[in-house]
Amino acid sequence: MNEFDPAFSALVSERLESIEARLLDAARADTPFVTEAASHIISAGGKRFRPLLVVLASQLLPGAASDRIDRAAIVMELTHVASLYHDDVMDEAAVRRSVDSANARWDNTVAILVGDYLFSRASSTVATLGTEYVALQAETFARLVQGQIAETRGPLPGVDRLQHYLDVVADKTGSLIAASARFGGMVCGASDEILDALGRYGEQIGVVFQLSDDIIDIASDTSGKTPGTDLREGVLTLPTLMVAASEDPGDARLRDLVSRPLTDEAEVAEALALLRAHPLLQEARDEVGRRAEAARAELDPLPDGVAKDALAALCDQVVSRSI
């Protein structure tokens, strides 16, 4: 937020610092062990993209109470972190945010129960905001679960694999980011028209956020993440699904590589080299850019001002991650 008005940037930073401290308070339990396990992923840090959206959207209109902004953001981040505990169990992940995942450090049962505990903490917090917040969180949680089930089952016969993937991303990632933007608008008393626009914007920018991660996993050596993680796990993402759909005979070797988990590091390196040189990677980037512009267009009904400008700037920032 440094490129914006210093007072606005200071306000956003102040709220995010407050939210960070209160997240750890919200994860505190009656026993030291549960507190430690529930704080494990929170303490490891993260982008806090969802709290940021709550804060930015809350500034579209004057008068949002700081405490309500914080509580709304905490609900969104706790829901997100809780889902990560469950995701790691299903994915058998060993690492989360550069630390041991909860299931690796303890076991699957602890990880699942701690995820449930954090969901309960999110629920008790959202109840202090009002029934309309409770309803939106419940609807969002339902979409998260349905998206996870759809991902686990895979596409049904006859369903396009890329469209299935985009639907899963919308449910698993877009829905919670959309709810975050709406929560911020609700806190400042925005009209239904603005709330709907924020929801559409949030869903689009959420999908863009995930798709840009897909590209980073292939294209970036400077992101701090090990390239090719999805290839090693056999996870099909936007670029590899585009390759899988290719009928070009010249893509036969690459189609074979992306069709299975790669345990040989030489094959990982080969797949990365082929993907980075492939025109479809630029097509994937173009799709990310198109969706980011669609997200920006959803901001048109919002009142002009620094908060709207900051939300628009996120569209550029999310795209620039994948370039």
Instruction: Write out pLDDT tens, residues 88-123.
Output: 666 555 555 456 666 666 667 777 888 888 999 999
pLDDT value of residue 309? 96
Least confident of 35-39, 46-50, 181-185, 201-205: 35-39
Alpha helices in the chain, H assignment, sequence order: 6-26, 32-43, 49-58, 66-91, 102-105, 108-126, 131-153, 161-169, 175-187, 192-219, 229-233, 238-244, 252-258, 265-277, 279-297, 306-320
Distances from the Cα of 7 to the Cα of 17, 50, 96, 310, 313, angstroms: 15, 21, 34, 13, 17
Q: How far apart are CA 295 and CA 315, in angstroms?
A: 7
Q: Which two tokens stand for residue 283?
A: 């097509």
Burial string for 202-231 (b: 16+ CB within 10 Å, else e) reads bbbbbbbbbbbbbbbbbbeeeeeeebbebb
- Asked if 190 contacts 297 with a C-beta cutoff of 8 angstroms, the reply is no
**Mean pLDDT confidence for 126-138:** 96
Count of other CB atoms within 10 angstroms of residue 99: 14
For the chain, domains (ranges, CATH) are: 7-190 (1.10.600.10), 192-322 (1.10.600.10)
pLDDT value of residue 290? 95
Bridging pattern class, strands 99-100 and 95-96: antiparallel
pLDDT value of residue 105? 63
pLDDT value of residue 95? 55
Instruction: Write out pLDDT tens, residues 172-228.
Output: 999 999 999 999 999 999 999 999 999 999 999 999 999 998 999 898 765 456 788
Q: How far apart are CA 318 and CA 290, in angstroms?
A: 12
Average pLDDT, the chain: 89
Q: How far apart are CA 141 and CA 175, in angstroms?
A: 9
pLDDT value of residue 304? 96
Q: How far apart are CA 280 and CA 243, in angstroms?
A: 7
**Conformational region of residue 29, where left means phi above 0, alpha means psi within -120 to 50, and beta covers everything else:** beta
**Mean pLDDT confidence for 151-176:** 93
Q: How far apart are CA 1 and CA 15, in angstroms?
A: 13
pLDDT value of residue 297? 97
